[in-house]
Amino acid sequence: MIDDPYFYALAIPALLMTGINKTGFASGIGVLAVPLMSLAVPPLQAVAIMLVVYCVMDLFAMWAYRRNWDRRNLRIILPAGFVGIGVGWLSAGMLSTPAIKVIVGAIAMLFTLDHWIGPRAVAPRSPTRAMGYACSAVAGYASFIAHAGGPPLSMYLLPQRMEPARYVGTAAMYWGVMNYAKLLPFGALGQLDSRNLLTALVLLPLAPIGTRLGVWINRAINPVWFYRIVYALTFAIGAKLVWDGLWTVLA
């Protein structure tokens, strides 16, 4: 098990953010978890620890929405997601830790910039295979590298304006399948060793605490300012990872 206090100083808020994200409050802030933890451990190790937590949480989400998911969409996005995971697996084995830090940091920064300056809501549209394949493949890759596949998947699902429970259920089924599919490649990469598994188990109780915290935040805190703070932190941490990665390569 990891015993570095600095790691836990970063991992605890990261797990709380993950739980908050599961309540639907400040949707997307879960992308902050891996960049934050990557300040203390290699990015792939941070992803592996979070993967174990996500797999447990996904079981509850999939059960809760087992009757609310869109079969047509899943037939499009699941195969492409597997392709993205495969690309992530191959590239993770070839890239150095500094290079992965740059990728993780860039994903965090792009996610924030998209929130700040990206296009807003458009008219509802029917799902298309081309858009679904592209967004889901990118989501699978970003999820493998940094658990940051939410934004590209949302780019495909949100414009369809599905009924909320159906939208959440479709996403829950997709991520449940994707996260369990990632266990094999992460095991092959040596990232699901006893040290990481024990660390994940120690951190796991923080996720439901974060969920309850998210419910409280919904009632007590102005969401506008919460969003502003979280997105600013996400951008700053992403920039720090990009700088650290580039500095290591160029030094």
Residue 107's nearest CA partner among 243, 245, 241, 246 is 241
* pTM for the whole structure: 0.80
Distances (CA, A) of 159 to 128, 163, 230: 11, 12, 24
The secondary element (H helix, E strand) that includes residue 159 is none
What's the CA dihedral at 20, 24, 28, 29 to 10 degrees? -20
For 241, which DSSP code? H
**Which burial class, exposed, middle or buried, applies to 110 when counting CB atoms under 10 A from its CB (0-12, 13-18, 19+)?**
middle
Distant-in-sequence contacts of 217-221, Cβ < 8 A, 24+ apart: 217/20, 217/25, 217/26, 218/23, 218/25
What pLDDT was estimated at residue 26?
A: 47
Sequential DSSP letters for 53-116: HHHHHHHHHHHHTTT---HHHHHHHHHHHHHHHHHHHHHHHHS-HHHHHHHHHHHHHHHHHHHH
Mean of pLDDT over the chain? 83
Name the stretches of the chain with pLDDT < 70: 21-30, 118-127, 214-215, 217-223, 226-227, 230, 249, 251
Gyration radius of the chain over CA positions: 17
Residue 48's nearest CA partner among 94, 88, 102, 5 is 88
Q: Name the packing angle between helices 164-181 and 71-94 (round to 10°).
A: 30
What pLDDT was estimated at residue 22?
A: 64
Predicted confidence (pLDDT) per residue in 71-110, tens digit: 999 999 999 999 999 999 998 878 777 887 888 778 778 8
Residues 6+ apart with CB under 8 A from 155: 135
**Which burial class, exposed, middle or buried, applies to 91 when counting CB atoms under 10 A from its CB (0-12, 13-18, 19+)?**
middle
For 160, which DSSP code? G
Structure tokens at 98: 């500094």
Other C-beta atoms lying within 10 Å of the C-beta of residue 92: 20
